[in-house]
Amino acid sequence: MVAWLFARTAGSRFVMRIEDLDPAASDATVADGQLDDLAALGLDWDEPVVWQHEHRERYDAAIAALEDAGLTYPCFCTRREIQQAGVAPHGPAPEGAYPGTCRDLSPAERARRQAEGRPAALRVRADATRVRIVDRLRGPVEVEVDDLVVRRNDGVVAYNLAVVVDDAGQGVGEVVRGDDLLLSSPRQSFLARLLGLPPVDYAHVPLVLGPDGKRLAKRDGAVTLSDRVALGESPGAVRSRLAASLGLCGPGESVSMAQLAERFDPARLPTEPWVLSAS
């Protein structure tokens, strides 16, 4: 809803993307249901929906460009090995930042790991580059970018690479999303720069949390629109609850998306997460 409000009040397009990079782990019926839920809340979007699994060739082309430029290397590390290695970056870094273990392996060392049957991911050399972005809501954010994965060890393209390529392909000028991805933005900005793609602006908003203070999830019970409707709460009532959490209407006030657009002011958005009660 917030992304829609940002776009529509700026007179911009609002585009939709289903991020299903691994079709084997995705369910198209779930994605279709999510789109139906958004429409029921009053959101619309421009142009056909982009499904990532249909665009593997453009991700492969981006990776090939990075490889041709000598910017990549195979990484045989497991997630546990990375966590145990520890990192001491010069400032904030995304959780699980890579310490560079496989960056300078000799050909013999790489061959030994391959002989052990270790599948390799593909990483981009970042050379501890510090990248600064200015978030519309959070202000300047600067981190030391680690050697991030662009292709996982199961062959699936990494999220950070795919969204950068897709943002350019869809002509995205601003990304509005939850602030749990704030520290991913400098990494994505870095990748866009390497690929010669236009930069995007960012606005990261607080998350919705469950009663336990953790990110809202199915463990918290009736959290989807269909769940709420089953409890007798209409899509309009759900929209009003969400709008009230943003300070755009009073509790229980009936409002349309058009009315919310008239009231929307990015400068007045809350800076703290909203905790959804169990009721």
Looking at the fold, whether 77 and 166 belong to one and the same domain comes out as yes
* Domain stop point among 157, 182, 205: 205
The domain boundary residue, chosen from 151, 176, 205? 205
- What pLDDT does residue 88 have? 45
On whether residue 154 sits in a domain, the answer given is yes
Average pLDDT over residues 64-68: 98
What does the chain come to in residues?
Answer: 279
CA distance 207 to 182: 12
The CATH number of the domain where 98 resides is what? Answer: 3.40.50.620
What distance in Å separates the CA atoms of residue 62 and residue 194, rounded to the nearest whole number? 10
Mean pLDDT of 216-239: 91
Q: Which domain holds residue 76?
A: 55-205
Q: Using one digit for the tens of pLDDT, what is the confidence trace for 7-34?
A: 999 999 999 999 999 877 778 888 999 9
Residue 165 in this model has a pLDDT that exceeds 90: yes
Quick one: pLDDT at residue 180?
93
* pTM attached to this predicted model: 0.89
Residues 6+ apart with CB under 8 A from 74: 102, 110, 120, 121, 122, 123
- The span from the CA of 169 to the CA of 76, in Å, is 31
Q: What is the pLDDT of residues 96-140, one digit of tens each?
A: 689 899 999 999 999 999 999 989 999 999 998 999 999 999 999
The enclosing domain of 224 has a CATH number of 1.10.1160
Residue 64 has pLDDT above 70, yes or no: yes
Task: Note whether 219 and 140 are same-domain residues.
Answer: no
Q: Are residues 172 and 265 in the same domain?
A: no
* Backbone φ/ψ region at 232: left (φ over 0), alpha (ψ -120 to 50), beta: left
The burial class, CB within 10 Å (0-12 / 13-18 / 19+), for 5 is buried
